[in-house]
Amino acid sequence: MVDIGTVEVIPPAEVEDVELYHPKSWVTKYVFCQDAKVIAIQYSITAISIGLVALVLSWFIRLQLAFPGTFSFITPSNYYQFITMHGMIMVIYLLTALFLGGFGNYLIPLMVGARDMVFPYVNMLSFWVYFLAVLVLVASFFAPGGPTGAGWTLYPPQAILAGTPGQDWGIILMLASLILFIIGFTMGGLNYVVTVLQGRTRGMTMMRLPLTVWGIFTATILALLAFPALFVASVMMLLDRVLGTSFFMPAIVQAGEHLKYGGGSPILFQHLFWFFGHPEVYIVALPAFGIVSDLISTHARKNIFGYRMMVWALVAIAVLSFIVWGHHMYISGMNPPFGFFFATSTLIIAIPTAIKVYNWVLTLWRGDIHLTVPMLFALGFIVTFVNGGITGLFLGNVIVDVPLSATMFVVAHFHMVMGIAPILVVFGGIYHWYPKITGRMWNERLGQFHFWVTFLGAYLIYFPMHYLGFIGVPRRYYELGETAFVPPSAGTLNVFITAAALIVGAAQMVFFFNLIWSLFKGKRAGGNPWRATTLEWQTPQTPPGHGNWGKELPIVYRWAYDYSVPGAEQDFLPQNQPPAKRMPVAAPS
């Protein structure tokens, strides 16, 4: 019998049980609420709502690319505004907020066996500042001149110069919104990190944490160290725009007029932006890695293969992600030895990432695989992630990157690796934890339909896009027009991609219908429908009540992956189930 670290002695509680704020009114229970679970729902609903706006924007982008000049509401200016806001919303306001604010808030306290986050009041502030950031972002759609159209990377000098859409108000609101987002996130992020480090229950060691917690934890540390660079860049660009300083602005002659700017460094912005931007990829990816590990282990009824390696791979990816940002700047002009360094460090990340992929596959190997909807999404993630990761090896090499840069190949690559792959995990995670959050089960058939349309549809959209990139179709172009090197068939392919994108986007309504319908009509799920081991499934109530646990906090005796343990009665042993043979002995205090 493989017995990985069961305790014989129950350690004494080091910290007295926390005092929680008990809501007295509807407002403090559901609106200005300090309970991490409610905050998680608030974060998720806000993030998904603004994400739907970005989804509609992507439809407009696709319509323009397939049928250039057909729609009068898509002018060149609008087009650039759409791609900018689509990118910014999806990366920051949807994915970052949903993984860390949504999944993080719901799962961390439950999975580590805490009653709540360590600072519930600050946690509440975190959401409301995030909400304010979203409002400022939405306001830019209604400001004179519309939202900024500078591209989601907001490169200066063009981001703040006349001629760029949204130069009046859009860029100011965008930067203000980013600053607010970072302030709000920092409040939440400190909570997540300290809760994992200092707020665990008795018996819960770091190496017994479910990988979901590890993923969110490392991603939050990344975010706390990467967002400062974006914060500084946003503040300085805001000053460049509002006060006329020249941090990022070189001397410029525009329309025959010598602008008041001079002496700044546009490349400095790129460095700051990508020092944030590359870790941002992993801020989104690491929680996805963690969640997918738990989904695969639970639904294949097998312990995760190489748990320690999975943890160290997460940490290694997190550390490496800070020294690769230059690979976004190969064509910005770079000293060749730097290119060599950044290419090498980029490719080294493939090692811990590959360790993770092998471990997922080895977890599946000879497992008792249940093709439930969460499992389908987890498997879909592995496929799309490997796919997007391999094109990343192309783009990480300087020589291959130079011709592929600024083509549709890049769009296909990062949508596959950073768009589709994490979104599949978001869906998988929502299907997996929905029974715990609501106490009801969703409709299986609708879930399967949702998976297959999304998964296959994603390939129909993004696979041809790689080909478009190879033949040289540039990204971010309003229309291709007549070119010598792009064949007319590229247009046909664009129509095909657009049709697929519209169908996949519309199919997401099935998902929302399923969630809302099941909330009222779904059958009762019970406390632990997946027969999972982790603590969140062992709560006395479903959905978990205020304070998560009853009178006593759970005591953890084993790691999170005791599935199909030989000799055990059930095929899973919850983390809080004491060892069978020996009765636990209290430690002398």
| Among 252, 15, 29, 209, residue whose Cα is nearest residue 112 | 209
State yes or no: residue 245 binds other proteins (CB under 8 A). Answer: yes
CB of 588 to other proteins, least distance (A): 7
Site string for other proteins, 528-567 (x = CB under 8 A): ----------------------------x-----------
- Ramachandran bin of 488, using left for φ above 0, alpha for ψ from -120 to 50, beta for the remaining angles: alpha
CA distance 292 to 408: 28
State yes or no: residue 13 binds other proteins (CB under 8 A). Answer: yes
Measure the CA angle with vertex 586, ends 580 and 589; round to 5°: 160
**Which amino acid type is present at position 30?**
Y
Is 363 within 8 Å of 312 (Cβ atoms)? no
Of residues 192 through 211, those in contact with other proteins by CB under 8 A are 193-194, 197-207
Nearer to other proteins, 116 or 562 (CB): 116
CA distance 429 to 511: 13
Is 6 within 8 Å of 584 (Cβ atoms)? no
Provide DSSP, 403-468.
Answer: HHTTBHHHHHHHIIIIIIHHHHHHHHHHHHHHHHHHSB---HHHHHHHHHHHHHHHHHHHHHHHHH
The label of the residue with tokens 């490169």 reads 155
CA distance 87 to 85: 5
The one among 3, 4, 8, 11 contacting other proteins by CB under 8 A: 11
The CA-atom distances, in angstroms, between 289 and each of 70, 214, 292, 370, 532 are 41, 9, 5, 20, 18
Query: What is the DSSP-derived secondary structure letter of residue 20?
Result: P
CB of 5 to other proteins, least distance (A): 10
CA distance 549 to 527: 13
The CA-atom distances, in angstroms, between 348 and each of 313, 342, 411 are 12, 10, 23
Of residues 454 through 513, those in contact with other proteins by CB under 8 A are none
CA atoms within 13 A on the CB side of 255: 3
Site string for other proteins, 416-455 (x = CB under 8 A): ----------------------------------------
The label of the residue with tokens 């965008």 reads 174
The one among 40, 190, 284, 418 contacting other proteins by CB under 8 A: 190
Q: Which stretch binds other proteins (CB under 8 A): 74-82, 186-194, 431-439, 498-506?
A: 186-194
Is 196 within 8 Å of 111 (Cβ atoms)? no
Nearer to other proteins, 197 or 331 (CB): 197
Is 538 within 8 Å of 186 (Cβ atoms)? no
Nearer to other proteins, 21 or 463 (CB): 21
Of residues 272 through 331, those in contact with other proteins by CB under 8 A are 272, 275
CB of 148 to other proteins, least distance (A): 22
Is 493 within 8 Å of 65 (Cβ atoms)? no
Q: Three-state SS string across 151-163, please? A: CCCCCCCHHHCCC
CB of 21 to other proteins, least distance (A): 5
Q: Which stretch binds other proteins (CB under 8 A): 14-22, 47-55, 71-79, 438-446?
A: 14-22
Q: Which stretch binds other proteins (CB under 8 A): 119-127, 139-147, 446-454, 520-528?
A: 119-127
Nearer to other proteins, 316 or 404 (CB): 316
CA distance 207 to 558: 10
Nearer to other proteins, 109 or 505 (CB): 109
Nearer to other proteins, 125 or 355 (CB): 125
Nearer to other proteins, 109 or 464 (CB): 109
The label of the residue with tokens 């946690």 reads 123
The one among 183, 235, 334, 400 contacting other proteins by CB under 8 A: 235
Nearer to other proteins, 237 or 515 (CB): 237
Task: Kindly determine how many residues on this chain lie close enough to bind other proteins according to the rule CB under 8 A.
Answer: 55
Nearer to other proteins, 380 or 574 (CB): 574
The one among 186, 359, 363, 538 contacting other proteins by CB under 8 A: 186
Nearer to other proteins, 60 or 261 (CB): 261
State yes or no: residue 254 binds other proteins (CB under 8 A). Answer: no
CB of 121 to other proteins, least distance (A): 4
State yes or no: residue 225 binds other proteins (CB under 8 A). Answer: yes
Q: Which stretch binds other proteins (CB under 8 A): 270-278, 352-360, 396-404, 544-552?
A: 270-278
Q: Which stretch binds other proteins (CB under 8 A): 37-45, 145-153, 269-277, 292-300?
A: 269-277
Torsion sign, CA atoms 246, 251, 252, 256:
positive
State yes or no: residue 50 binds other proteins (CB under 8 A). Answer: no
Which residues, in sequence order, are CB contacts of 262 under 8 Å at separation 6+?
246, 249, 250, 251, 252
Is 241 within 8 Å of 161 (Cβ atoms)? no
CB of 125 to other proteins, least distance (A): 9
Nearer to other proteins, 118 or 437 (CB): 118
The one among 258, 260, 370, 445 contacting other proteins by CB under 8 A: 260
Tell me which residues touch other proteins (CB under 8 A). 11, 13-15, 19, 21, 118-121, 186, 189-191, 193-194, 197-207, 224-225, 227-229, 231-233, 235-236, 239, 243-247, 250, 260, 262-265, 268, 271-272, 275, 556, 588
